[in-house]
Structure 1
Amino acid sequence: MPRRSRVLRSATAAVGLSLAAVALTACGGSGGSDGELRVVASTNVWGSVAQAVAGDRVQVTSIISEPSADPHSYEASPSDAAKVTDASLVILNGGGYDQFAENILESTGSKPTVNAFDLFEERTGTHAAESEGEHADHAHGSVNEHIWYDMPTVDATASAIAEQLGTLDPDGAATYRSNAEAFRTQLRQVSETSAAIAAAHRDAPVAQTEPIAYYLLQAAELKDRTPTDFTSAVENGTDPSPAAIAATRQLITDRQVRILVYNIQTQDKVTRNIRETAERSGIPIVEITETLPEGLDFVQWQTRTAQSLADALDSAS
């Protein structure tokens, strides 16, 4: 059985009908039925970013907040749909990562939305050139949708949230802009750690079980040596080929990589075996997640992850 199943458009058709029914009965407009400003994020990653901008003026609700949840395969409930439909502003990752949120939005019609992946494409000039079928199979090619590890995109998303909130709540516009500026300053902690890694360990070879931390490794100027066949299969919830598994194990047993970046949220027999191989070979493990660990905000989480990467590389030197 595959480790996890992705949310396919065909697989969510029936769910989409029920969500559409909820959308028709839920409250619309720029706020809830009581006129209160409501902000809803697809995951607590973007919920934390939005809360940093909103400050004390608005409470942000995140649909996915459980550390064990997988946004790729999450299926929205009618209550989730109602939250999105009744929101004044919706924040999502986009790029097919949180497809459940995109499906709800398609059912609700026009609504103020901040799509982080769209901002990434605008900022970098790259586009996920893919057919709907490719999108359903999660085949993004060279475009990686885990953009919360890309600090310039996170910064752009925070600024877009401030702009949208300022439009919805003009009296708080200056506060939202100020909060976004303060958040930008905090993000520099992560960027400075990545730059320090690049200065000390540029082009160091690494391996990872999934391409989750792609943009962090890119900012740190590290070289991912993991066979693409391996990471693509794990990311798509299928079993890597025996050849891909053997090649990945060989990288580690021959100590051709300095560290292993390991997603602890979605594990299976194959990835656990790779981790065990790394531990036996004395290769440091850097644990990463796709949603915020309990008790941490976005900056704390990203700072800790970047520092863990730096510490692991230092110990492997």
Structure 2
Amino acid sequence: MVLRFAVIATWLALLSPGFAQERIQVVTTTTDLRSLTEAVGGDRIAAVNLVPASMDAEDYQPKPQDVLRLKNAHMLVRVGLDYDLWIDRLLVQAGKREIARGGPGYVDASFAIAALELRGMSVGPGDGHAHGSGNPHYWLDPKNAEIITGTILEALARIDPANAARYEANRLAFLARLRVKLVEWEEKLAPLKSTPIVAYHNSWPYFARRFRLDFAGFIETKPGVPPSPAHLAGIVKTMRERGVRIVVREPHEPDRDVAFVASKAGASVVILAASVGALPEASDYISLFDVNVEALKSAAAR
């Protein structure tokens, strides 16, 4: 009798609207956008990112299975600002109108973001990005998460209006946590205000603006192209003149040139994560900043 009741109860659960409702399949180009989409979507979505945490989206070479993922997706979230241009070709191959540009499930997360380093259609000298649409690393300003999650919320509400209130509640809860953490991060990085820093790649203008940091130079001038000896000499000269004691690199970036300029100028090398998952401890959007703030705070205390 007990077994029979258990079977009936199981069937009732399976037939209930909440259980039977299909989760929304979301494809994001990056881990950062996946984390922010999950913060809004909660358990109503199943998200997957295309670009591994260990590389820039600019360098990503799409795989055949990426098209299949898009074919099965209800929603696509991209970085935009020419950072993930390859997704346009994949969208054509997938041929799914709902997530194509202009479709209800298409999200360009750069919408309404105030982009830095805009240069029209020109390529900026030494900026490390082969495009003029602005620096694409806007997620590294935690305040921009308000705009990004707002854009994501609008798309989820369009394609799943029955759960719009749940998505809005998720977003507000996430932003409340983020605001508390932002005060903490600002306090911890206050001693580094105006402290000159050198980085390998120009991933950090939004982060620097938010926390009043001063990036005095960048080792890489073009993505994937090693800096010339003359450029390295110029970086060392700048570091000595300005008293730079911190050199930043991301986990996937080559160590040789970073170690060289650091040794010549008596600086410390600090490894920061520019994306969720680039370091093991940076497992979601908030912990990404926790890890980077603690690393810079420790370096400044040496």
For the criterion TM > 0.5, the same-fold answer is yes
State the 1:157 CA deviation: 0.9
- Aligned partners of 2:275, 2:50: CA distance in 1, in Å? 11
1:246-266, Cα deviation, whole Å (9 max, x unpaired): 121234456711322212212
Report the Cα distance in structure 2 between the residues aligned to 1:209 and 1:127, rounded to whole angstroms.
Answer: 21
1:226 match: secondary structure: strand
Q: Superposition pairs for residues 30-179 of structure 1, below 5 Å?
A: 37-65=24-52, 67-107=53-93, 108=95, 109-110=100-101, 111=103, 112-121=105-114, 129-130=120-121, 138-140=129-131, 143-179=134-170
Bigger mean CA offset, 206-215 vs 68-77 = 68-77
Residues 52, 183 of structure 1: 8 Å contact kept: yes
Change (3 A) 1:185 1:275: farther
Paired residues of 2:220 and 2:226 also in contact (CA < 8 A): no
Establish whether residue 291 from structure 1 lines up as the match of residue 275 from structure 2. Answer: yes
Q: Give 5+ residue unaligned stretches, structure 1.
A: 1-33
Give 1:272 shift: 4.0
Contact 2:259 2:269 in 1 (8 A): no
Output the amino acid matched with 1:115: D
Judge conservation of contact 2:122–2:131 (CA < 8 Å) in 1: no
Paired residue for 1:232, among 196, 221, 240?
Answer: 221
Displacement after TM superposition at 1:53 (Å): 0.9
- Cα 1:131–1:105, aligned 2, differ >3 Å: closer, same or farther? farther
| Residues 205 and 222 in structure 1, CA contact (< 8 A), matched pair in contact too | yes
Residue aligning to 1:23: none
Cα deviation, 1:231-283, whole Å, max 9, x if unaligned, reads 433xx2212232210121234456711322212212153234335546xx2x3
- Partner SS state of residue 232, structure 1: coil
Contact kept in structure 2, 1:198 and 1:219, CA below 8 Å: no
Aligned residues of 1:204 and 1:222 also touching (Cα < 8 A): yes
AA matched with 1:81: V
Q: In 2, distance between residues paired with 1:286 and 1:176?
A: 37
Determine which structure has more spread, i.e. the larger CA radius of gyration: 2
> What is the Cα deviation at residue 128 of structure 1?
5.3
Aligned residues: 269
Q: How do 1:185-224 and structure 2 match up within 5 A?
A: 185-196=176-187, 199-224=190-215
Q: How far apart are residue 286 of structure 1 and its match?
A: 2.5
Q: Of residues 157, 178, 183 in structure 1, which corresponds to 2:174?
A: 183
Equivalent-residue separation in structure 1 for 2:270 and 2:214 (angstroms)? 15
Among all aligned residue pairs of Structure 1 and Structure 2, give the percentage whose two residues are the same amino acid: 24
SS at match of 1:60: strand
Mapped to 1, the partners of 2:170 and 2:85 lie a distance apart of 29
Equivalent position SS for 2:166: helix
Q: How far has the Cα of 1:194 moved from its partner?
A: 4.6
In the alignment, which residue of structure 2 is the partner of 1:20?
none
CA distance in 2, matches of 1:151, 1:160: 15
Aligned counterpart in structure 2 of residue 246 of structure 1, from 198, 213, 233:
233
Q: 1:81 and 1:118 mapped to 2: Cα distance?
A: 24
Which letter maps to 2:272? I
C-alpha contact (below 8 Å) 2:189/2:293 kept by paired residues: no
Aligned partners of 2:292 and 2:228: how far apart in 1? Answer: 30
**Residues 152-200 of structure 1: CA distance to partner in whole angstroms, max 9, x if unpaired?**
2222111111121122112211111011111212222453245325643
Structure 1 CA distance for aligned equivalents of residues 216 and 70 of structure 2: 40
Paired with 2:62 and 2:45, the residues of 1 have a C-alpha distance of 24
Counterpart code for 1:289: A
Q: Which runs of 5+ in 2 are unaligned?
A: 1-20
Q: Which residue identity is paired with 2:270?
A: V
Counterpart amino acid of 1:284?
S
Q: Could you state the TM-score of these two structures normalised by the residue count of structure 2?
A: 0.77
Provide the residue aligned with 1:308 in structure 2.
295
- Mark the CA change 1:57 to 1:101 in structure 2 (over 3 Å): closer, same or farther: same
